């Protein structure tokens, strides 16, 4: 009865993955492996991949073995990098070539690019000549460029053909490539001349030529363009697909919206996890030692910066001993600076990712953040001073607290703008390194200004 309920649960594809996972786990615990296999392979590949990513390692290994061979490539394509690597490292090059057979060229390239060269050569050797040549062409481009995203599966026509000829040519195919919204028009040397939208092809007079209907005022994507810029273009132009050309204008392939969605998702994951010092593709259920190793580096860096802040505090130990209230209040100054700095830095990093910040507007942003910091520091400095005077009955301490608050919030605002821009200029990821550096700056400035002023006045 329990198994029948679980199978019925899997019929409703609108249910949450956790419900699927719970049903799978119950079925596995009962030992009903045949039913589990049937339930698992009834799901679409993205859902199977999500289930694998949501499972502990031992359960994941059992589930992967139950995925049908014909479906392994599609499921593998939707898994994150860490899990892909774990699975592929256990397979021979011939098995990898067999699993990836039938996938789009760009998807195969994504899967292979992070594997050892020896394995890549083995996989290429196991492929037929046509697939190998297509894959080599994509692998020759940087992974984060338009070339790394392109798919060579395109439909091209000549401008002298009539639309009737084009329609008859299309009917000869069992199906056209997914995400095909335009037919690409090229000359004999494969130079891209224009695009023929399907929406125009289907409603135009069949006796017209391609040249009469095609669009020549369009943007082709240079093969060397960074994938972030490609994503921005897709967003701005509402594209479903776009042709990719080399420097001479020769058509190399096309990029489709599904690949751009992957880029956007990866960039989002990268930004969120980098702020915590984590890898963008880190497996939630990775082994303990691997997870500990990944996190240890930034914990160590943070420890060093914490010692720097502590060293600043130690220089004022005599003052703290005399005025015990300083020990109570000094963490508040550092905390306020850290929050203000992170607010600014997060906004700047996001704007940089969207391509909204450059040399023309960075100074304006700097002035805007200084103005914002001035208002907030005066407001909350006054509030903090009032509370301090009421709490400790010490007017001087209230002035010191307010002044330190203003200094640290102003420093935080400047650092929040300047740090991401400076790190980007030296090719360091601001999301990865900015948080640790910013925290150090606000802590040191907060402690130094508050305790320094206290030492002077007391």
Q: Does the pLDDT at position 280 exceed 60? A: no
Establish if 390 belongs to a structural domain. Answer: yes
Question: Which of helix, strand or coil describes residue 242?
Answer: strand
Q: Which residue has the higher pLDDT, 3 or 409?
A: 409
Q: Note whether 69 and 89 are same-domain residues.
A: yes
Asked whether 36 and 6 are in contact (CB, 8 A), the reply is no
Give the pLDDT score at 193: 97
Establish if 267 belongs to a structural domain. Answer: no
Q: Does the pLDDT at position 46 exceed 80? A: yes
> Nearest Cα to 416, choosing from 445, 437, 432?
437
Give the pLDDT score at 321: 75
Q: Which residue has the higher pLDDT, 432 or 193?
A: 193
- Measured CA to CA, the distance from residue 103 to residue 108 in angstroms comes to 6
Q: Note whether 432 and 297 are same-domain residues.
A: yes
Establish if 280 belongs to a structural domain. Answer: no
How far are the Cα atoms of 74, 112, 161, 168, 203 from residue 200, in angstroms, in the given order?
Answer: 33, 38, 15, 16, 6
pTM: 0.69
Tokens of 350: 């996001």
How far are the Cα atoms of 24, 66, 427 from residue 63, in angstroms, in the given order?
Answer: 9, 5, 41
Span 264-276, mean pLDDT? 68
pLDDT in tens, 86-142: 888 888 888 888 888 888 888 888 888 878 888 888 888 888 888 888 888 888 899
Q: Provide the domain limits for residue 112.
A: 2-149
Q: Note whether 48 and 130 are same-domain residues.
A: yes
Give the pLDDT score at 198: 95
Q: Note whether 353 and 421 are same-domain residues.
A: yes
Give the pLDDT score at 389: 93
- First-residue to last-residue Cα distance in the chain: 78
Q: Does the pLDDT at position 12 exceed 80? A: no
Establish if 283 belongs to a structural domain. Answer: no
Span 151-172, mean pLDDT? 94
Span 77-89, mean pLDDT? 86
The CATH code of the domain that includes 314 is 1.10.357.20
Question: Domain boundary at 102, 134, 149, which?
Answer: 149
Q: Note whether 249 and 128 are same-domain residues.
A: no
Q: Note whether 160 and 109 are same-domain residues.
A: no
Pairing of strands 192-197, 182-186: antiparallel
Q: Note whether 73 and 196 are same-domain residues.
A: no
Establish if 392 belongs to a structural domain. Answer: yes
Establish if 275 belongs to a structural domain. Answer: no
Count structural domains, the chain: 3
Q: Which residue has the higher pLDDT, 277 or 311?
A: 311
How far are the Cα atoms of 29, 101, 104, 115, 152 from residue 125, in angstroms, in the given order?
Answer: 42, 13, 18, 15, 19
Q: Note whether 160 and 137 are same-domain residues.
A: no
pLDDT band at 7 (very low <50, low <70, confident <90, very high): very low
Beta strands in 275-417 (DSSP E): none
- Measured CA to CA, the distance from residue 230 to residue 245 in angstroms comes to 13
Question: Domain boundary at 212, 230, 255, which?
Answer: 255
The CATH code of the domain that includes 136 is 1.25.60.10
DSSP structure class, residue 182: E
pLDDT band at 274 (very low <50, low <70, confident <90, very high): low
Q: Does the pLDDT at position 354 exceed 90? A: no
- Measured CA to CA, the distance from residue 446 to residue 111 in angstroms comes to 47
DSSP structure class, residue 204: S
pLDDT in tens, 211-269: 999 999 999 999 999 998 999 899 889 999 999 999 999 999 999 999 999 888 877 76
- Measured CA to CA, the distance from residue 398 to residue 450 in angstroms comes to 11
- How much of the chain is in helix, strand and coil states, percent to nearest 5? 65, 5, 25
Establish if 260 belongs to a structural domain. Answer: no
Q: Note whether 16 and 66 are same-domain residues.
A: yes
The CATH code of the domain that includes 160 is 3.10.580.10
Chain-centroid distance, C-alpha 112 = 19
Give the pLDDT score at 9: 39
Tokens of 198: 């399907």
Asked whether 105 and 114 are in contact (CB, 8 A), the reply is no
Q: Note whether 196 and 134 are same-domain residues.
A: no
Question: Domain boundary at 125, 149, 173, which?
Answer: 149
Q: Which residue has the higher pLDDT, 337 or 24?
A: 337
Mean residue pLDDT of the chain comes to 85
Q: Does the pLDDT at position 379 exceed 90? A: yes
Most confident of 40-49, 201-210, 231-240, 301-310: 201-210
Q: Note whether 173 and 90 are same-domain residues.
A: no
DSSP structure class, residue 207: T
- Measured CA to CA, the distance from residue 145 to residue 141 in angstroms comes to 7
Q: Which residue has the higher pLDDT, 77 or 184?
A: 184
CB atoms within 10 A of CB 290: 13
Q: Note whether 110 and 24 are same-domain residues.
A: yes
Establish if 274 belongs to a structural domain. Answer: no
pLDDT band at 13 (very low <50, low <70, confident <90, very high): very low
């Amino acid at each position: 009865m329990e198994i029948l309920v679980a199978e019925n649960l899997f019929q409703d594809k609108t249910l949450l993955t956790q419900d699927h996972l719970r049903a799978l786990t119950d079925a596995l615990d009962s030992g009903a492996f045949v039913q589990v296999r049937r339930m698992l392979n009834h799901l679409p590949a993205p859902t199977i991949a999500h289930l694998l990513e949501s499972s502990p390692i031992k359960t994941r290994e059992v589930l992967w073995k139950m995925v049908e061979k014909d479906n392994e490539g599609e499921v593998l394509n939707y898994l994150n990098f860490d899990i892909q690597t774990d699975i592929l490292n256990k397979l021979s090059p011939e098995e990898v070539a067999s699993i990836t057979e039938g996938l789009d060229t760009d998807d195969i390239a994504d899967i292979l690019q992070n594997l050892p060269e020896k394995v890549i050569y083995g996989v290429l050797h196991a492929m037929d000549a046509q697939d190998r040549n297509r894959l080599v062409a994509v692998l020759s481009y940087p992974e984060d460029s338009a070339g790394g995203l392109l798919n060579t599966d395109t439909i091209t026509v000549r401008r002298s053909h009539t639309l009737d000829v084009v329609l008859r040519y299309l009917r000869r195919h069992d199906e056209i490539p997914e995400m095909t919204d335009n037919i690409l028009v090229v000359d004999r040397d494969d130079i891209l001349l224009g695009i023929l939208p399907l929406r125009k092809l289907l409603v135009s007079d069949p006796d017209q030529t391609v040249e009469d209907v095609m669009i020549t005022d369009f943007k082709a994507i240079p093969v060397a363009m960074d994938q972030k810029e490609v994503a921005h273009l897709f967003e701005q132009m509402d594209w479903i697909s776009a042709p990719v050309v080399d420097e001479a204008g020769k058509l190399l392939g096309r990029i489709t919206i599904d690949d751009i969605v992957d880029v956007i998702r990866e960039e989002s994951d990268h930004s969120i996890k980098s702020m915590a010092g984590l890898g963008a593709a880190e497996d939630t259920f990775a082994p303990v030692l691997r997870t500990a190793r990944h996190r240890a580096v930034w914990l160590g860096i943070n420890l060093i910066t914490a010692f720097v802040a502590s060293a600043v505090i130690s220089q004022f130990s005599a003052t703290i001993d005399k005025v015990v209230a300083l020990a109570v209040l000094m963490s508040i100054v550092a905390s306020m600076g850290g929050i203000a700095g992170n607010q600014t830095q997060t906004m700047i990093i996001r704007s940089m990712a969207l391509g909204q910040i450059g040399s023309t507007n960075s100074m304006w942003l700097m002035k805007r953040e200084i103005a914002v910091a001035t208002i907030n520091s005066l407001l909350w400095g006054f509030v903090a001073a009032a509370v301090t005077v009421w709490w400790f009955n010490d007017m001087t301490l209230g002035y010191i607290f307010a002044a330190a608050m203003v200094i640290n919030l102003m420093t935080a605002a400047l650092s929040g703008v300047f740090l991401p821009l400076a790190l980007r200029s030296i090719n360091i990821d601001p999301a990865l390194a900015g948080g640790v550096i910013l925290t150090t700056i606000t802590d040191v400035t907060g402690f130094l200004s508050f305790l320094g002023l206290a030492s002077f006045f007391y």
